[in-house]
Amino acid sequence: MGCFVFLAAFFSARLALFLTWVFKNEKLSAAFTSGWIPILGFFLLPWTTLAWTWTYSVAKGGPDGFGIFLVIIAFIADLASYGSGDRERRRRARD
């Protein structure tokens, strides 16, 4: 099942988070103490939430150096997606 979720992440981080929640809910429960944080992450920072869940489940107690690096890269990817969407809206408004 893990490979299927990994392949789903290539298409959409939200799809991969949903599949993780459906099939491997213990990973989300272990990574987050509150249920609101993954829900907010699903809508606002999906790549960061997915990276945190993966690194937390692999490291067994919290992300280490490489895990933190992956979370930072995922956060940059989330910010880049917001920036590119804004840039595209401005381009369409000009045309």
pLDDT at 64 over 80: yes
- Give 24's pLDDT tier (boundaries 50, 70, 90): confident
In the prediction, which pLDDT does 7 show? 66
Rounded CA separation 93/71 (Å): 33
User: What pLDDT, on the 0 to 100 scale, is given for residue 74?
Assistant: 93
Beta carbons within 8 Å of 17's beta carbon, 6+ residues apart? 38, 41, 42, 46, 49, 50, 53
DSSP string of 27-70? HHHHH-SSSHHHHHHHHH-HHHHHHHHHHHHHHTSS--HHHHHH
pLDDT over 70, % of the chain: 85
pLDDT band at 6 (very low <50, low <70, confident <90, very high): low
